[in-house]
A = this chain, B = another copy of it.
Amino acid sequence: MNRESRERPAGAFLVPERKARIDEVVANRTRTLTVVIEAFCDPQNVNAVLRTCEAYGVQEIHVVEGPMKPYERNRKISQNSDKWLDVRRWRSTAECLDFLRREGFFVYATQLSKGATPLEELSFRNKVALVFGNESRGVSDEVLRMADVRYAIPMRGFVQSLNVSVAAAVSLARAVERRIVERGRHGDLAPGEAAALRQRFYVLAVKQRARIAKAALVEARRRR
């Protein structure tokens, strides 16, 4: 590789289809809808929620560490999705929610008990942070106190709750639908933000291609 090519932007090293795919994903990304994962017991559930967030274009996710073992990457469950996301870790719920409120987010917390607003009635006109709590206890009392809205996914059977990654997906599907109606679109990065994210994704994709090419070369040599 000569000096000139080394200075070309990473996008130039990608086939047009891959580049177009990245551009499409960035156009569907948002930082005005976010998800807070509070004190999960099972790190696999964190990975499952990250995969769902990535699929719905939510770029930034907040993880409040619980009393259990900290979340670790699990490539199989997250489907490597966290590499395309901004995951912020917090040691306390209050710190995380204070930050989000300063950033202008309305906090919508899932509530298992009665008296919550049904998901169908929520507005997504403003910036919203959806908070999902511990698998057995739900969100903490602190979240319930600080939340602007306590909502629930209507349940029609004997089962009292959905799996947390299922609850996140059903909530995000609804949020995207409402955002398109109430805000006109879901993906809404500012031009500068979008350009920066495209560059970052191009670099990640080039690295990924290099890794795949290297692995193929090693495999070919092994078979010779």
Residues of B within 8 A of A120 (CB): 177
Q: Does A67 contact B (CB under 8 A)?
A: no
Residues of B within 8 A of A155 (CB): 55
Q: Does A186 contact B (CB under 8 A)?
A: yes
A28 vs B52: C-alpha distance when bound (angstroms)? 28
Contact residues, A8-34 vs B (CB, 8 A): 21, 25, 28-29
A159-170 vs B: 1/0 string, CB under 8 Å? 110110110011
A48 (CB) vs chain B CBs: closest residue: B163
Q: Does A90 contact B (CB under 8 A)?
A: no
Q: Does A124 contact B (CB under 8 A)?
A: no
Which of A57, A158, A186 has the most C-beta atoms of chain B within 10 angstroms of its own C-beta?
A158
Contact residues, A46-96 vs B (CB, 8 A): 48, 51-52, 54-57, 79, 81, 84
Residues of B within 8 A of A170 (CB): 169-170, 173
Q: Which of B28, B56, B163 contacts A165 (CB 8 A)?
A: B163
A155 (CB) vs chain B CBs: closest residue: B55
Q: Does A3 contact B (CB under 8 A)?
A: no
A30 (CB) vs chain B CBs: closest residue: B156
| CB atoms of A157 and B187 under 8 A apart | no
Residues of B within 8 A of A165 (CB): 163, 166
Contact residues, A117-157 vs B (CB, 8 A): 120, 153, 155-157
A170 vs B51: C-alpha distance when bound (angstroms)? 14
| CB atoms of B157 and A56 under 8 A apart | yes
A149 vs B7: C-alpha distance when bound (angstroms)? 49
A174 (CB) vs chain B CBs: closest residue: B173
How close is A201's CB to chain B, nearest CB, in angstroms? 8
21 A-B pairs within 8 Å (CB atoms) are namely A21-B158, A25-B156, A25-B157, A48-B163, A51-B159, A52-B162, A54-B158, A55-B156, A55-B157, A56-B157, A57-B156, A79-B159, A84-B157, A156-B186, A156-B187, A162-B169, A163-B165, A166-B166, A166-B169, A170-B170, A173-B173
